[in-house]
């Protein structure tokens, strides 16, 4: 699959200082929460090991329904 992003916009995003700072901040936050790979899921700031890339939409719905009560 390919994304329909024009090359000039893609390159501009890579060199955009705001995106650079945002990604560095996210990386540091992940490191401080012992994230070692993706996907990693947090619920209310707490690492949640019950979710994974194999979690189905039905399981996500059940998980979120349980959180919302």
Question: H-helix or E-strand containing 47?
Answer: strand 46-48
Asked whether residue 2 carries a pLDDT value surpassing 80, the answer given is no
pLDDT attached to residue 40? 87
Question: H-helix or E-strand containing 43?
Answer: strand 41-43
pLDDT for 7-60, tens place per residue? 898 888 888 888 888 888 988 988 888 888 888 888 888 888 888 889 999 999
What pTM does this model have?
A: 0.51
Asked whether residue 1 carries a pLDDT value surpassing 80, the answer given is no
pLDDT attached to residue 30? 86
């Amino acid at each position: 699959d390919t994304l329909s992003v024009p090359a000039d916009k893609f390159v501009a995003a890579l060199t955009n200082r705001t995106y650079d700072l945002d990604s560095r901040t996210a990386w540091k936050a992940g490191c401080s929460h012992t994230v070692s790979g993706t996907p990693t899921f947090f619920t209310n700031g707490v690492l949640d090991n019950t979710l994974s890339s194999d979690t189905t939409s039905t399981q996500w719905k059940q998980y979120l329904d349980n959180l919302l009560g």
